[in-house]
Amino acid sequence: RQVLTMMGDLLFATGRFADATSHYERALQQGVKPELQVKLGNALLKAGNLKEAGEIFEAVVKGQSFYAADAYLGLGDVHRAEGLTEKARSDYKEGFKRSQYRTELREQLGERILELDPEDIDTRFDLAKTYQRARDYDKAIAHYRELLKRQPDSYDAYQGLAECYVAKEDYESAKGAYKRMVELTEEAGRKALLYRKVLEAEEKLVGEGNKLGEDGLEALLELAKLYLAQGKKDEAKSQLERLGEENPDWRSDEVAALWAELESLQTPESEVEAPPQPEGP
């Protein structure tokens, strides 16, 4: 069986699909294996025998084996070749659902789905994540961008973009994605995290020992404001001190006002002069 299967694979790879079909059928005579059935179905499909290919793929699907997702891909291709677009899309979707831990197959299924339905936001996001996990960052970025054309305010898509850009060491683009994420959230803790990400990206861009640019200074200022609002005096002080070191003239009035606010928070209550009490009659 193994020799017949290997010969079938070689014939399939060289485009001799009818001969590959014959070898796979002979191998299957020695015992049914879902993996081999899928190979046979694909050979039949390539040879133009759509009805027989569909029957083979259906048998694998009904068997609920590990190769069911492969069979759904083949079945979708059969239905697509027959012009049954909606059936094909349904097959691809079912296969996509079953292919969570099979990266290459999942990518094939996801691309097929989006060819038929470019507006399928959920599949596009899942496919982008699949490419990202596989470190195929360019394809992940392409799908995140397509998603943002359809959902311009998708925080999750910008997060995926930022992570891919960092992985590619494209810190300028990562910084832009983080800045957009800041605009899309109201939660203070999340904003602080994102400003720290902006700051990290800026530090990578300017290089160790060099002065921060406008975005880095802005991040320090906004972090100081957030920390003050949260009562985190030491963290706020640290940001303001660094601002002074980086560029003492940058938005000096605004920075001075934050220093004054910080000092008022640090003044012990006992040292604050009590307002005069009205005299009695």
Q: What is the pLDDT of residues 200-220, one digit of tens each?
A: 999 999 999 899 999 999 999
Asked whether residue 153 is domain-assigned, the answer is no
CA-CA distance, 102 to 33, in Å (whole number)? 19
| pLDDT, tens digit (0-9, with 9 covering 90-100), for 28-55 | 998 889 999 999 999 999 999 999 999 9
Domain assignment present for residue 10? The answer is yes
**What is the pLDDT, as a whole number, of residue 158?**
98
Residue 79: predicted pLDDT: 98
How far is 236 from 91, CA to CA, in rounded Å? 55
Q: Could you read off the pLDDT of 177-207 as tens digits, one per residue? A: 999 999 999 999 999 999 999 999 999 999 9
Question: Total structural domains in the chain?
Answer: 2
CA–CA separation, 169 vs 7, rounded Å? 45
Among the candidates 65, 90, 117, a domain finishes at: 117
Q: What is the CATH number of the domain that holds 36?
A: 1.25.40.10
161 close to 141: Cβ distance less than 8 angstroms:
yes
Q: pLDDT tens, 64-112? A: 889 999 999 999 999 999 999 999 999 999 999 999 989 999 999 999 9
pTM of the model: 0.86
In a domain, 196, yes or no: yes
> In terms of residue numbers, what domain contains 96?
1-117
Q: Are residues 85 and 192 in the same domain?
A: no
Hey, how many other C-beta atoms are within 10 angstroms of the C-beta on 33? 16
pLDDT tier at 25, thresholds 50, 70, 90: very high
What pLDDT sits at residue 272? 34
